[in-house]
Structure 1
Amino acid sequence: MKKSRGIAVLLLTAIVTVFFCYVAAVGIGPTGTGSAKNINTGLDLAGGVSITYQAKDSNPSKEDMSDTVYKMQQRVSQYSTEAQAYQEGSNRITIEIPGVSDANAILEELGKPGSLYFIDQTDADGNQNFTKGNSESGYVLARSIEDIQKAGSVVLEGTDVADAEGGAYQDSSTSSQKYAVSLTLTKNGKTKFAEATKANVGKQIAIVYDDQVLSAPNVNEEISGGKAQITGMASTEEAQNLASYIRIGSLSLELTELRSSVVAAQLGEEAIATSVKAGAVGLVIVMLIMIIAYRIPGLVASVALVLYTTLMLITLNAFDITLTLPGIAGIILGIGMAVDANVIIYARIREEIAAGLSVHAAIKSGFGKAFSAIFDGNITTLIAACVLMWLGSGSVKGFAYTLAMGIVISMFTALVISRLVINAVYAIGVRDPKFYGIAKERKAVDFVGKRKIFFAVSIILILCGPVGMLVHSNVIGDKAMNYSLEFSGGTSTNVTFNKEMDIKEIDSEVTPVVEAVTGDKNVQPTKVQGTNQVVIKTRSLDLKEREALNKALEENFDVDTSLITSENISATVSNEMRRDAIVAVIVAAIFMLLYIWFRFKDIRFASSAVLALLHDVLVVLAFYVISRISVGNTFIACMLTIVGYSINATIVIFDRIRENMRGRKKVEDEELKEIVNTSVTETLTRSIYTSLTTFVMVAILYVMGVSSIKEFAAPLMVGIIGGAYSSVCITGTLWYTMKTFRKNRVAAPAAAAASAKISSEKSEKKVKQPSGQQTAQQQPKKKNRKRVAERLAAQEAAKQQNDEEKSE
């Protein structure tokens, strides 16, 4: 790169950086497009709409309630991945949708809950079930739905429909845009619909919702595939409205709207403000660490980090992704991975300068050699993020979106921006090696030799989890883990205060009173906007505790206890959502294993990485058990963060082992041990700096954050330390153990057998030939037999070793 071009690149980088910072802070235009303040935030950070439905059946079954809650969760996910649906009492369902403020609009889009039926045009006796009328659809029921059911004319019910989507499509025959509703049926619905359409070809089947005929499409042919399309809509809006009625009507229970309200942020404005400040302070400290450690390259990395952060904020805004506390974890992890990529590159540049290369050649070689580690590490994590997006739900899906974006942006800033800028800096004359640093030669640490100690420490740490669970559940008589409201449900208390209180007042005045009565820090107050009402969610309270809480509220705030109402609420993280999360993580681990196996051509690399990942998750789980930090939505986010962080660190070490083994076909155990120790030692600087910078980001969040933020940051810090420990002390040594295990197991018996054979022949000779009676002719024969035996034993051992290597 010429000097003039280098100056141009640096000027352009400065302009782009300042522009992105301005957009992220202020935005563009009167609406502030792109500004961080316009990012959609979840209920925990900004509040939203809360709507409560009640089942028409006063005593619905647990199965129907559970199924309806799960389906409602799927419905509201179209508004936000962070939307929640949970059971309240025995026959109520509450949905909470973040980032919106118009409850009526949501009700209109969701549809009014009611009964849904698909009915024949006529019954078996030829009686009309629906006729032409003056309704919007043009049809009305000719008799009551009860009579139609008795006549056997209901071909499908709402529960037979799995999903419905309305939209536009291109008609290939007329090249015009048309509108339709696409139906997806359940397994039972598929069979019923095939029979109904076969019997009604050329006739109509009406869709009846809450005794109103919504549509009466003609049946053109038998539909047996479980999917159908209703055409003839006049607009996209009409198609979407019909789809929303079908979706809401496909619930297991008929629901009626009980109440709706706009609620304030669950964590409050203070949580957001402190998180933003902590993020800014942490980022500045990380940049200083990078500059002190890596000099000019550290300054370049700082510019790349600023660009990464601003691009993340702008992208979150552009894609309307809802940001919640777990989302913040994704951003923090992204910053850690962005730092990691730069550290890998600049550590490589230092190594190349120490090897005698010029600065220019070292920069080129450093980026080239660092690429495989950065690529494999990020792609492995990206695979996990994509699987979580595909199979996860709720906060898992939201976390996956944020993580995936962070990976793509961090790779771009590290591999493109950093490369351009550092080459530009070199081009303008900053060429002295002292500005880039020279790697010091370190004596290889014997990690492999200490592997038994490392394995023992890990086993003890992991066992703390299940042992702690047994102690709490069987000895203390408590829950195995401190499950929060999201996991175990609790009690929702609606209190009407004498004045309207903001969330800050509620946090500082009301929450401590509730905590004192319940003896539990897991309290979630939510303010109903425009009223004096506050909904306080706590662990499950019995009658005595509810009365004590009412009395405490009356004494401290002079509230009217007759206006206090309480209901039991179910977990917002349903069993189905937990199942989805577990399945998603297992599938993600399998895909990561397959990718590492494919890239490293050795299943032991892949299995070691997955076992180390499991190690980190179990260590953090043990911390949750011992510390009694509440297990809620942030628990899922924390575990997923550790998965992404840990696997990336492991890949870097494996990449160095792969590089150091390149060109070696047969490696003895001692040489292999030396390669592992050298590889881990060479990447030790990277492991320390990456862990340190990520730890600093989370630690600042812990120090400056409110109590709910602290509960989130503490296990993350443990996970970062655990991930650093496993990547340095466990992964390489575990791979070495797997690599040499079978070889040693086969070689040892072979050597023992050869030795035994020689000893046997010696003893036989001693018996046959008395001492001092051997002739000169016999002595050479004895020596020859000994040589033959030794040679045969060596050949047998070598043959078994070759067979073993071929099988590997």
Structure 2
Amino acid sequence: MKNKKKGLLQIILILAIIGLCGFTTLVGFTKHHKGSAQNIKLGLDLAGGVSITYEAVGDTPSQTEMEDTRNMMQKRAEVYSTESSVVIGDGGRITIDIPGVANADEVLASLGKEGSLDFVAQDDMSFEDNDQTKPKYTKTVCTGKDVKTAEATTQQNEVTKKKEYVVSLKFKSKGTKSFANATAAAAPSKKVIYIVYDGKVISYPAVQSEISNGEAVISGSFKTYDSAEELASMIRIGALPVELKEVQSQVVGAQLGQDAIQSSLLAGAIGFALVVLFMIVFYRLPGLAASIALVFYLVVMLVGLNALDITLTLPGVAGIILNIGMAVDANVIIFTRIKEELAKGKTVQSSIKLGFDKALSAIIDGNVTTLIAAFVLYIKGSGTVKGFATTLAIGIILSMFTALYITKILLKAMYALGVDDIKYFGVEKERKTIHFVENKAKFFVISGALIVACVVCLFINKAGRCNGNILNYGLDFSGGTTFDITFNKDQKIDSDMKKDIESVFSKESGSNDVVISEIAGSNGLSVKTVELSEKKRDALTKSLVKTYSIEEKNIQYQNISASVSDEMKTDAIVAVVIAAICMLIYIWFRFKDIVFAGSAVLALLHDAVVVLLVYAVSKISVGNTFIACMLTIVGYSINATIVIFDRIRENLGSKTSEEALTEVVNQSITQTLTRSINTSLTTFFMVIMLAILGVDSVKDFAIPLLVGIICGGYSSVCITGPLWLTIKKRVHTGKGKKARK
């Protein structure tokens, strides 16, 4: 009776948490709906807006100069949106994201201009409509270029004798003379000198006495050191000798972002329903427990995104949907173990305990290796890829928790309530051992043929099929400017129109390098050309609006310099190499056998090559999400392999003969075959819906991922075990020869 009450309370508590998180996600709290999904920060690809990256010209600025520049850009960006983000990058770069803006050209023109800082005497200042934010003046005392230093510091107040925060200024020789004359005129009447930054008054200290030595102190209004430092920083900005050039920019229409959200959410909902149905039908009561745990995972994930103030991007949404499929994996491993224990004649209670215990090492090792891929993605990726990596990592950790704890609590609670008949759990049927090792030659030939096909396709592409490149490099990897134009529904897109568009772009860009393609699923064109300046992009936009009577919001573009695209290519290669090395070291450490690690890494590189073949044959654009796709496949593939290797390690014991090892490999793969198939299916359900219903950018991510999932399942089942045994025999034979010598 006591156990029944405990079990009932546990189920009620979990359902209550789901209900609370669900309410928080859908409605939120207070009139501002805190915690609700509508308050999750959206990236530019979902909210629309402007993103621009600047790079310092010449020598790399100091950290202080970069911080000052960031502060300047933050102030400018916040004029357009309080949700603006300004981030300092490597190599003297600053990236600014401004969501939801309407006039993108105005924003880009404003952000790139040099900051202005003026000191204005009270007698020379007036305000339009008496508005303090609209200063008007005919002349200045001096400008920011006349300031030598501006620092926040402390001094003792002469009246109160207490410490106070102040801003200490030092002027250059020209500024010293001008400031002395101005303060001499202002001091008798204690008039103020206005400090105006970018047309806005930021301070107006009263002059107490003439300042002739070029050293002034602003005091009396700073409650904290940070407030004094903020003013000092803005004064320094006016004198900042940093020239910025645009290296990357993007304008995204808000409506396109909304369409992307809706299609992705629909794909996720259908995929989720298929996964739940599959789990309940195949695993019965444990499947029901896993489905409840999946709902728990999803609502907690959404609340977590809000609580951690994470910016959600379109690849991030795809990451959450992918995680739902992958989250089932841990449950599948556990349930397979439970059914095996029941087949051995163990009780239901004992089987549940043993199932979780025996599955633990495989779950931890598999998820840690996937986390390694997510970590490398975050370090080497940028923008939307970081968003994908963040949601992937959070999802992995959360899915482990839900599988190992929430599902376990639910199963034990249901058992305590009397749902303890073996029929509710199912028994693993005895399966005839499949001879994977004996068929290794066939598997190796198939894999070898795929690798050769990849190399051949890359050479064919290089010969001219992809403009002299081995792959169809997108803007991220090739540099240039791409316009995505959505026309009105009554506008017919035909060959004549495309010729007209090509002519306009060739004329404005001064280059015949113009590639036009239709945007699937919409009445639009994507036009890629050489890198265009802000002035040329503005001229093109106005020409398109005038000629085709379309709204400016239906024109979005992305601009990336060649230097940035070269870095992205390098990052893609480095990311895969780093991930492979880290996984090699981890598996070597965990399995204490480099043969396990080596064969696992060779198999995942095999999967990466097959996915590369898909990109080469289909000519899917290779861009920033290419890195995310590759590393996701790497993580997924290694996860599946570790489950099989974990079973080989368990069955291995002290066996050393070739016959015994062959039997161990065949038996281990056969025992884990159900898990391999079912995990691939549940992940496939989620990704296939993205491929069918997602927008173009998601489809370009999902289609290679689908192939990677299939290939990852194939390589883990058919390649890794036989490959491990082949290498093991070679190593053992080599040692034997050395010993005989």
Classify 1:112/1:731 alpha carbon distance in 2 versus 1 (closer, same or farther; 3 Å): same
Residue in structure 2 matching 1:253, options 236, 243, 254: 243
Equivalents in 2 of 1:463, 1:585: separation in Å? Answer: 20
Give, in angstroms, the shift of residue 553 of structure 1: 5.4
Residue in structure 1 matching 2:619, options 625, 628, 644: 628
Classify 1:542/1:436 alpha carbon distance in 2 versus 1 (closer, same or farther; 3 Å): closer
**Equivalence for 2:226:** 236
Residue in structure 1 matching 2:276, options 274, 287, 299: 287
Equivalents in 1 of 2:232, 2:102: separation in Å? Answer: 21
**Equivalence for 1:596:** 587
**Equivalence for 1:661:** 652
Give, in angstroms, the shift of residue 437 of structure 1: 0.4
Equivalents in 1 of 2:490, 2:430: separation in Å? Answer: 55
Classify 1:255/1:270 alpha carbon distance in 2 versus 1 (closer, same or farther; 3 Å): closer
**In the alignment, residue 624 of structure 2 is paired with which amino acid?**
N
Give, in angstroms, the shift of residue 477 of structure 1: 6.4
Give the 3-state SS of the residue equivalent to 1:275 in structure 2. helix
> Is 1:268 aligned to residue 269 of structure 2?
no
> Is 1:30 aligned to residue 31 of structure 2?
yes
**In the alignment, residue 97 of structure 1 is paired with which amino acid?**
D
**Equivalence for 2:475:** 485
Residue in structure 2 matching 1:470, options 459, 477, 481: 459
Equivalents in 2 of 1:433, 1:411: separation in Å? Answer: 26
- TM-score, L = length of structure 1: 0.66
Classify 1:428/1:507 alpha carbon distance in 2 versus 1 (closer, same or farther; 3 Å): farther
Give the 3-state SS of the residue equivalent to 2:647 in structure 1. helix
**Equivalence for 1:639:** 630
**Equivalence for 2:326:** 337
**Equivalence for 1:679:** 668
Preserved contact between residue 304 and residue 413 of structure 1 (Cα < 8 Å): yes
Preserved contact between residue 179 and residue 234 of structure 1 (Cα < 8 Å): no
Q: How does 1:279-428 map to 2 (within 5 A)?
A: 279-428=268-417
Equivalents in 2 of 1:405, 1:683: separation in Å? Answer: 27
**Equivalence for 1:39:** 40
**In the alignment, residue 626 of structure 1 is paired with which amino acid?**
V
Preserved contact between residue 518 and residue 525 of structure 2 (Cα < 8 Å): no
Q: How does 1:565-580 map to 2 (within 5 A)?
A: 570=561, 574-580=565-571
Preserved contact between residue 341 and residue 414 of structure 1 (Cα < 8 Å): yes
Give, in angstroms, the shift of residue 17 of structure 1: 1.7
Give, in angstroms, the shift of residue 554 of structure 1: 8.3
Equivalents in 1 of 2:594, 2:235: separation in Å? Answer: 51
Equivalents in 1 of 2:339, 2:226: separation in Å? Answer: 60
Q: Cα deviation per residue 1:723-757 (whole Å; 9 max; x = unaligned)?
A: 1111111111111111111333565xx7xxxxxxx
Preserved contact between residue 479 and residue 531 of structure 2 (Cα < 8 Å): no
Pair member with larger Rg: 1
> Is 1:721 aligned to residue 722 of structure 2?
no
Preserved contact between residue 491 and residue 537 of structure 1 (Cα < 8 Å): no
Q: Cα deviation per residue 1:302-338 (whole Å; 9 max; x = unaligned)?
A: 0011111111111111112122222123213322331
Preserved contact between residue 101 and residue 262 of structure 1 (Cα < 8 Å): no
Structure 2, unaligned runs of 5 or more? 118-140, 155-162, 169-196, 204-221, 503-514
Give, in angstroms, the shift of residue 80 of structure 1: 10
Equivalents in 2 of 1:44, 1:597: separation in Å? Answer: 40
Q: How does 1:431-446 map to 2 (within 5 A)?
A: 431-446=420-435
Residue in structure 2 matching 1:696, options 685, 688, 692: 685
Classify 1:409/1:520 alpha carbon distance in 2 versus 1 (closer, same or farther; 3 Å): same
Q: How does 1:728-767 map to 2 (within 5 A)?
A: 728-745=717-734
Give, in angstroms, the shift of residue 262 of structure 1: 8.3
> Is 1:18 aligned to residue 7 of structure 2?
no
Classify 1:506/1:451 alpha carbon distance in 2 versus 1 (closer, same or farther; 3 Å): farther
Give the 3-state SS of the residue equivalent to 2:710 in structure 1. helix
Give, in angstroms, the shift of residue 443 of structure 1: 1.4
Preserved contact between residue 42 and residue 98 of structure 1 (Cα < 8 Å): no
Give, in angstroms, the shift of residue 715 of structure 1: 1.0
Give the 3-state SS of the residue equivalent to 2:254 in structure 1. coil
Classify 1:506/1:370 alpha carbon distance in 2 versus 1 (closer, same or farther; 3 Å): farther
Equivalents in 1 of 2:164, 2:700: separation in Å? Answer: 52
Residue in structure 2 matching 1:650, options 636, 641, 659: 641
Preserved contact between residue 322 and residue 686 of structure 2 (Cα < 8 Å): no
Give the 3-state SS of the residue equivalent to 1:393 in structure 2. coil
> Is 1:617 aligned to residue 618 of structure 2?
no
Classify 1:571/1:660 alpha carbon distance in 2 versus 1 (closer, same or farther; 3 Å): same
Q: Cα deviation per residue 1:394-434 (whole Å; 9 max; x = unaligned)?
A: 33332221111111110110011001000000000011111
- TM-score, L = length of structure 2: 0.71
**Equivalence for 2:450:** 461
Equivalents in 1 of 2:258, 2:636: separation in Å? Answer: 29
Equivalents in 1 of 2:526, 2:153: separation in Å? Answer: 39
Preserved contact between residue 86 and residue 97 of structure 2 (Cα < 8 Å): yes
**In the alignment, residue 669 of structure 2 is paired with which amino acid?**
V
Equivalents in 2 of 1:454, 1:256: separation in Å? Answer: 50
Classify 1:589/1:420 alpha carbon distance in 2 versus 1 (closer, same or farther; 3 Å): same
**In the alignment, residue 327 of structure 1 is paired with which amino acid?**
G
Structure 1, unaligned runs of 5 or more? 87-92, 117-139, 149-153, 156-163, 169-175, 182-208, 215-231, 496-502, 527-534, 751-796, 804-808
**In the alignment, residue 21 of structure 1 is paired with which amino acid?**
G
Equivalents in 1 of 2:18, 2:102: separation in Å? Answer: 37
Classify 1:426/1:494 alpha carbon distance in 2 versus 1 (closer, same or farther; 3 Å): closer
Classify 1:266/1:648 alpha carbon distance in 2 versus 1 (closer, same or farther; 3 Å): farther
Classify 1:591/1:430 alpha carbon distance in 2 versus 1 (closer, same or farther; 3 Å): same
Equivalents in 1 of 2:447, 2:166: separation in Å? Answer: 60
Q: What percent identity do the matched residue pairs reach?
A: 48
Q: How does 1:204-215 map to 2 (within 5 A)?
A: none
More displaced 10-residue stretch of structure 1: 341-350 or 611-620:
611-620
**In the alignment, residue 8 of structure 2 is paired with which amino acid?**
I
Preserved contact between residue 250 and residue 556 of structure 2 (Cα < 8 Å): no
Give, in angstroms, the shift of residue 251 of structure 1: 8.4
Give, in angstroms, the shift of residue 459 of structure 1: 2.0
Equivalents in 1 of 2:660, 2:389: separation in Å? Answer: 41
Classify 1:494/1:631 alpha carbon distance in 2 versus 1 (closer, same or farther; 3 Å): closer
Preserved contact between residue 431 and residue 670 of structure 2 (Cα < 8 Å): yes
Give the 3-state SS of the residue equivalent to 1:295 in structure 2. helix
Give the 3-state SS of the residue equivalent to 1:44 in structure 2. helix
Equivalents in 1 of 2:723, 2:398: separation in Å? Answer: 32
More displaced 10-residue stretch of structure 1: 5-14 or 580-589:
580-589
